[in-house]
Amino acid sequence: MDLAEYFMTCVLVDKDLPCLDISGHLLHGIIPKGETQFRGNPIFLNLRQARSDERWGRLMIICEEVFQLLLTNQHSTVRRIFYLYKDTFKNPSHVAHSIEDLARLLSCTRRDLNVRATAKGLVYGNLEWRTTDGDNWCSCHSAPTSIPSDMRAVVEVNKI
């Protein structure tokens, strides 16, 4: 089962569920206790309290966004998601907390959800790299250059 299928298994649940306890099992035995280890403290949402309703709503928005990222194999940043849903999230830390809740729910990392804390930065200096097609060389000698977001590995490093 890939991450997208697992995501749907864990997230599509009965909407009338009064509370969600993610401490050692998920939603009444979808994943039995002991099979998954959650990082950090357990998540407990009581859907009858207004504060939990807001947290649940933010979690569902993050679920939708992450599901689209996984389906299209794209990446996003916490900042981008915050500005997409600025009316829902009061500050970027709410986005980060919701992403962490979802990662705990799915027993994975934020990286597995295709969400980064920040975009990759600019580089400047004696650095060159070749793109994945092998034909194009990118150089940082004359101006700062953005690192491609789909760069996965550095294969060869040469001192110039």
Residues annotated as part of the active site = 83
Nearest Cα residue to 33 out of 43, 22, 20 = 22
* Number of residues in the chain: 160
Environment class of 47 (CB within 10 Å of its CB; exposed 0-12, middle 13-18, buried 19+)? middle
Beta bridge partners of 21: 44
Residue 29, both tokens: 């035995």
Show Cβ contacts of residue 67 under 8 Å, excluding neighbours closer than 6 positions. 4, 7, 8, 11
Other beta carbons within 10 angstroms of residue 59's beta carbon come to 21
**Residue 82 backbone dihedrals phi, psi, to 5 degrees:** -60, -45
* CB-based contact 26:105 (threshold 8 Å): yes
